[in-house]
Chain A
């Protein structure tokens, strides 16, 4: 299916007002694996005929990694620049492809003058399914064992545990839980700007610890909702040489692939 990815600038030029802005994020824009998630989200938006737009080259890092690493200056510089762009387009509602962008835009931009309704892509997919705009049948995942790894910035940070699970359940698959899940979920190891540095000295990598826990369930798929968790879990699965049997997918990819989008 041909992807339709209108930009905010194009919409305004055509006199259209998109109902929602899709905030792609840096990983979703540049990381080869995460770009597949971005495309899956776009296909879902297209299929459900959601009037959306992206900022394209006007988008910039939300500043999340800078803030977590203690660089509040850089974070606020990014935030002010982004807020100028978003407010310039009179954006009301945003969907993000990344829990870190989601958290920052939703919780940290209001203090700096950026007030938007912000949702994570798993929440949007759930809404589209619930409202009947998106029909989902099991497809290739019917009966398959899937475990969901909670991204910290979606789960503990923003108490959203159900949306991704309810979407996965629509696939008629067998959703199994790791012992450490939901509020008790174990981090993949990438948060707090760890993604951009070597881990401190220890006796194990966090993603190996987490992948080990997931693999113990013998799932067909480890599902997640974050491009950084994606990287960490994929590497963790490779560490155990299980990449042949166990696939790591974003919830959006599961839906897009089940619908042959």
Chain B
């Protein structure tokens, strides 16, 4: 084992350890959420996950973005197979260790080239959409400089990785054709064969240097990307699958039933019901902070890739109100990260998701129309968070807009949201 193999191994183990530690923190953060048992309907959940996450069925609702995304998705998933060869080559000091597969190897490498080209084109199209065409949903208010840079950085890294991949193949071809030692004859290069013409004038030593440099750049890039992803919106590449698996299977109009309230209401209706023990912890209604939300809602926040389809379909946002479902998800994630960090450092935390991140004005603009839930390609449910925060505003803070407080009074006193008496409820039947 040479020195370069040892460096490779150390880099590799180091990168995966760092990644594992960050994942551990994220899993811990998600578990700060309320318990919600979703181990039901396994078959149905699997079906939804296959269709929506693996099959990308909701992505293609917007065809251009959908098809481009599928190019990157397929490219990313399949090209990762080559990582296996890269790892073995890196550790063992071999070159194209799977070359013995012959014709099949040629087929695989050729396919990777086509997929790589697809990824390259899609990334360029995405950069153009974001920065030159400036699609509105990538420039709305919550898309401040970091979220915009995050997206551009990811696309740039992917373009660099693909360029490295093609350069690697192009130089390799020239070296192979010259019969340079170590560079076994293997692979088919339908795309990079055109690119290799650039390198034919160079000496074999220079080519080896370029080939080795891009090989190292490529693997280091992948290891960097691996560790960048959990800090970025790009984490959806992992969480999209569990996120869809655990998504809501009920009709979208069914809002969660609050058991805690049911217990109290039952006490009011049935004096013989057993009251909770006097020393029981007081129940908190609705959500004020991230730990009042359920773990699925917190996973939703880490899964969001800030595509903005929710916001661009939101009737409130379309008509200029402050509400943006995407901002609800981004705020939840930001607050959860902050909450987790304070927990680790044991620093006192006086902030909360409600008020410090999300204002009542945003919450009261929601029409609960479910357009955001419908639009999300990975079944994120911003509406459930909006409602949980409203519940806290109303039931803990008594902080509903005056008109709604009036509506509550009417419903309570006369069984209708307006000031009409229940006794007059059938008057319409006697009107001509």
Contacts and interface: CB of A to CB of B under 8 A. Distances in A.
A171 interface: no
Given A66-B408, A71-B400, A77-B265, A30 B367 contact: no
A194 B367 contact: yes
B418 interface: yes
B252 interface: yes
Interface residues of B, number: 69
Interface in B387-403: 387, 389-395, 400-401, 403
Contacts of B117: none
Give the one of A24, A38, A73 with max B CB within 10 A. A73
Interface string B36-78: 0000000000000000000000000100000000000000000
Interface in B401-421: 401, 403-404, 406-408, 411-412, 415-418, 420
B82 interface: no
Contacts of B400: 69-71
A139 interface: no
B404 A206 contact: no
Interface string A218-243: 00000000000000000000000000
Give the one of A72, A152, A158, A201 with max B CB within 10 A. A72
A70 B422 contact: no
Nearest to A109: B257
Nearest to A193: B404
A49 interface: no
Given A56-B426, A152-B370, A187-B315, A200 B408 contact: no
Give the one of B251, B266, B373, B403 with max A CB within 10 A. B251
Contact of A30 (B361, B406, B418): B418
A200 B425 contact: no
B228 interface: no
B411 A63 contact: yes
B420 to A, nearest CB: 4
Interface stretch (B124-132, B181-189, B318-326): B318-326
Contact of A186 (B371, B407, B420): B371
Contacts of B411: 61, 63, 65-66, 74, 78
A208 B315 CA distance: 11
A5 interface: yes
B338 interface: no
B431 to A, nearest CB: 7
A156 B258 contact: no
Contact of A70 (B265, B390, B429): B390
A54 interface: yes
Given A107-B251, A198-B403, A38 B262 contact: no
A184 B313 contact: yes
Nearest to B370: A156
Contacts of A108: 254-255, 257
Interface in A46-105: 54, 56-57, 59-61, 63, 65-74, 76-78, 80, 103
A28 B426 CA distance: 10
Contact of B361 (A57, A69, A197, A200): A200
Contacts of A157: 251-253, 370
B404 A201 contact: no
Interface string B14-54: 00000000000000000000000000000000000000000
Contact of B407 (A38, A196, A198, A210): A196
B412 A107 contact: no
Contacts of A56: 425-426, 429
B365 interface: yes
B316 interface: yes
A199 B262 CA distance: 31
Interface string B247-264: 000111111011001101
Interface residues of A, number: 70
B387 A199 contact: no
B1 to A, nearest CB: 58
A71 B395 contact: yes
Nearest to B387: A70
B316 A69 contact: no
Interface in A11-48: 24, 26, 28-30, 35, 38-39, 42
B285 A72 contact: yes
Interface in B259-278: 261-262, 264-266, 268-269
A197 B374 contact: no
B194 interface: no
A71 B286 contact: no
Given A67-B255, A70-B390, A189 B428 contact: no
A209 B318 contact: yes
A152 B369 contact: yes
Contacts of B320: 202-204
A57 B403 contact: no
Contacts of B428: 24, 28-30, 35, 38-39
A158 B369 CA distance: 11
Contacts of A70: 286, 387, 389-395, 400
B423 interface: yes
14 contacts: A30-B416, A57-B423, A57-B424, A65-B411, A68-B255, A73-B265, A76-B261, A152-B369, A156-B252, A159-B251, A183-B374, A196-B407, A197-B404, A206-B316
Interface of B: 61, 250-255, 257-258, 261-262, 264-266, 268-269, 285-286, 313, 315-316, 318-323, 361, 364-371, 373-374, 387, 389-395, 400-401, 403-404, 406-408, 411-412, 415-418, 420, 422-429, 431
Interface of A: 3, 5, 7, 24, 26, 28-30, 35, 38-39, 42, 54, 56-57, 59-61, 63, 65-74, 76-78, 80, 103, 106-108, 111-112, 152-153, 156-159, 183-184, 186-187, 189-206, 208-210
